[in-house]
Chain A
Amino acid sequence: MIHIKRIQEDGADIVVLIGEIDASSSIELDLAIAKSVGEGFTRILIDCSALEYISSAGLGVFMSYIEEFKDRNVKMVLFGMSEKVANTFSILGLNELLQIGKDKIEAKQMVS
Chain B
Amino acid sequence: MAFFCHNCISLKAKAVTRLLFTVGVITWLALLLTDISIIFSSVNKIRPDIPLWLPGVILNLFILAVFYYYKFKVERDEVLNFIDLLWRVFATGLVATVISLSLRLVEHLLNNGKLTSHAVFKDLIYMINLGLMMGFLLMAFTAWKRLILYQKSKWLLRLWAFFEIGLLLSLLLNSFNIELVQKLYGPLLGIFVVISLVLSGNMKWVAYLNFRQKWTGLLLLLLTIFYLLYLLYTNSALTESLGAISPNFTHYRYHIFILSVIVFVAMYSVFSFLVILFNLPTTSVFEQKLEEVVNFQRISQSIQTEQSEESVYNILLETSVSTVFADAAWLEIKATQIGHKLFTYKIADKEAYDIIDHLRTHNVKGILDQGSDKTKNLSKHLASLKGSRFRSILAFPIYVKNENIGTLALLKELPEGFNKEMTKIVSTFANQAGISVENFRLLEEALQNERYKEELKIAKMVQKSLLPAVLEKDDDFDIAAFSDSADEVGGDYYDTLRINDHTISLIIADVSGKGTTAAFHMSQMKGIFHSLAQDNIDPHDFMVRANQALVYCLERGSFISATHFIINTQKKKIRYARAGHCPVLYFCAKKGHAEYIKDKGIALGMVRNKSYSNFIQANEFEYHSGDIMVLYTDGVTEAKDARNEEFGYDKLLTVLCEVKDGSPKEIQDHLINRLYEFSGTTNINDDYTTMIVKFK
Instruction: Give me the interface of A with B, judged by CB distance under 8 Å.
Output: 23, 30, 53, 56-57, 59-61, 63-64, 66-67, 84, 91-94, 96-97
Which residues of chain B have C-beta atoms less than 8 A from A91's C-beta? Answer: 561, 580-583, 634
Which residues of the other chain, B, contact A30 by a CB distance below 8 angstroms? 557
For A84, the closest partner residue in chain B by CB is B646
Q: 1/0 contact trace for B631-657 toward A, CB 8 Å? A: 000100010000000100000000000
Q: Given A61-B557, A67-B608, does the pair A93, B603 have CB atoms closer than 8 Å?
A: yes
With an 8 A cutoff between CB atoms, is B587 at the interface? no
Q: Are A92 and B513 interface neighbours, CB within 8 A?
A: no
Q: Does B524 contact A (CB under 8 A)?
A: no
Q: Assess the A60–B615 pair: CB atoms within 8 A.
A: no
Say whether B600 contacts A92, CB under 8 Å. no
Give the interface centre of A53, A84, A92, A97 by most chain B CB atoms within 10 Å. A92
**A23–B514 CB distance below 8 A:** yes
Expressed in whole angstroms, the minimum distance between the Cβ of B453 and any Cβ of chain A is 17
Interface residue ranges of B9-24 to A (CB < 8 Å): none
Is B634 touching A93 in the complex (CB atoms < 8 A)? no
Chain B residues numbered 566-602 whose CB sits less than 8 Å from any CB in chain A:
579-583, 600-602
B510 and A56 form a contact (CB under 8 A): yes
Partner of B602, one of A23, A53, A57, A94: A94
Whether A93 lies near B615 (C-beta < 8 A) is yes
Residues of A close to B583: CB separation below 8 A:
91
Pick the contact of B513 from A23, A94, A96 — CB < 8 Å? A23
Interface, chain B (partner A; CB < 8 A):
510, 512-514, 556-559, 561, 579-583, 600-603, 606-608, 615, 634, 638, 646
Contact B558 A60 (CB under 8 A): yes
B634 nearest in chain A by CB position: A56
7 closest A-B pairs (Cβ-Cβ)? A93-B602, A60-B557, A64-B557, A92-B580, A56-B512, A64-B556, A92-B603
Could you tell me the distance in whole angstroms from the C-beta of B417 to the nearest C-beta in chain A?
54
Q: A60-B557, A93-B615 are in contact. List 4 more A-B contacts (CB 8 A).
A: A84-B646, A92-B559, A92-B603, A94-B603
Q: Give Cα distance in the complex from A63 to B514, angstroms.
A: 17
Is the pair A92, B608 in contact by a Cβ cutoff of 8 Å?
no
- The answer to whether B559 and A56 have CB atoms under 8 Å apart is yes
A59: which B residues are within 8 A, CB to CB?
512, 559
Q: Which chain B residues border A92 with CB–CB below 8 Å?
A: 559, 561, 580, 602-603, 606
Q: Which residues of B contact A84 (CB under 8 A)?
A: 646
- Interface SS of chain B: loop
| Bound-state Cα–Cα, A60 to B512, Å | 8
Q: Which residues from chain A contact B514 at a C-beta distance below 8 Å?
A: 23
Closest to B581 in A: A91
* Bound complex: CA A61 to CA B559 (Å): 11
Q: How far is the CB of B512 from chain A (nearest CB, A)?
A: 4
Determine the residue in chain A with the shortest Cβ distance to B646.
Answer: A84
A46 to chain B, nearest CB (A): 16
* Contact present for B607 and A60 (CB under 8 Å): no
Nearest B-chain residue to A62, judged by Cβ = B557
What B residues does A67 contact at CB under 8 A? 608
A93 and B512 in contact, given A56-B634, A63-B557 (Cβ under 8 angstroms):
no
- The complex places the Cα of A109 from the Cα of B606 at a distance, in Å, of 26
In whole angstroms, how far apart are the Cα atoms of A60 and B603 in the complex? 11
Residues of A contacting B601 with CB < 8 Å?
A: 93
Closest chain A CB from B517 CB (angstroms): 11
Complex: A97 Cα to B615 Cα, angstroms: 9
Contacts of A97 in B (CB 8 A): 602, 606-607, 615
Given A91-B583, A93-B580: A63 in contact with B513 (beta carbons within 8 A): no
Q: With A and B bound together, what is the CA distance between A100 and B615 in angstroms?
A: 17
Which A residues touch B556, using CB under 8 A?
Answer: 64
Judging by beta carbons under 8 Å apart, are B513 and A60 in contact?
Answer: yes
What chain B residues lie within 8 Å of A64 (beta carbons)?
Answer: 556-557
Chain B residue nearest to A68 (CB atoms) is B556
Return the contact of B606 from the options A23, A53, A93 (Cβ within 8 A): A93
Residue of A60, A96, A97 with highest tally of chain B CB at under 10 A: A60
Interface centre among A61, A67, A93 (most CB of B within 10 A): A93
**Assembled-state Cα–Cα distance A76/B601 (Å):** 22
Taking CB atoms, residues of chain A closer than 8 Å to B608 are 67
Known: A63-B557, A64-B556. A93 touches B600 (CB 8 A): yes
Chain B residue nearest in CB terms to A26: B557
Please tell me if the beta carbons of A63 and B582 are within 8 angstroms of each other in the complex: no
Residues of chain B within 8 A of A56, CB atoms compared: 510, 512-513, 559, 561, 634
**A64 → B minimal CB distance (Å):** 4
A23→B491 CA distance, assembly (Å)? 13
Partner of A96, one of B510, B558, B615, B634: B615
Q: A74 vs B556: C-alpha distance in the bound complex, in angstroms?
A: 18
Contacts of B582 in A (CB 8 A): 91
Q: Considering the chains assembled together, what is the distance between the CA atoms of A46 and B24 in angstroms? A: 105
**From A56, A57, A60, residue with most partner B Cβ within 10 Å:** A56
**Could you list some 29 contacts between A and B, CB below 8 A?**
A30-B557, A56-B512, A56-B513, A56-B559, A56-B561, A56-B634, A57-B512, A60-B512, A60-B557, A60-B558, A63-B557, A63-B606, A64-B556, A66-B606, A91-B580, A91-B581, A91-B583, A92-B580, A92-B602, A93-B580, A93-B600, A93-B602, A93-B603, A93-B606, A93-B615, A94-B580, A94-B602, A96-B602, A97-B607
| Measured CA separation A94–B582 after assembly (Å) | 13
Min CB–CB distance B487 → chain A (angstroms): 13
Chain A min CB distance to B521 (Å): 12
Distance, CA A21 to CA B679, complexed state (A):
20
B600 / chain A contacts, CB cutoff of 8 Å: 93, 96
Chain A min CB distance to B518 (Å): 10
The smallest C-beta distance from A50 to any residue of chain B, in angstroms, reads: 15
Q: Which A residue sits closest to B510, measured CB to CB?
A: A56
Q: Max chain A CB contacts within 10 Å: which of B510, B512, B561, B608? A: B512
Distance between Cα atoms of A92 and B582 in the complex (Å): 8
| Cα(A30)–Cα(B513), bound, Å | 15
B249 nearest CB across to chain A (Å): 101
CA distance A57 to B514 in the complex (A): 9
- B603 and A57 contacting across the interface, CB-CB below 8 Å: no
In angstroms, Cα B403 to Cα A63, docked, is: 40
Contacts of B510 in A (CB 8 A): 56
CB neighbours of B603 from chain A (8 A):
92-94
How far does the alpha carbon of A91 sit from the alpha carbon of B633 in the complex, in Å? 12
Nearest A residue to B605 via CB reads A63
Closest to A20 in B: B644
* A97, B602: Cα distance in complex, Å: 9
CB-based nearest A residue for B554: A60
Which residues of chain B are near A57, meaning CB under 8 Å? 512-513, 557
Cβ-defined contact, B559 with A60, below 8 A: yes
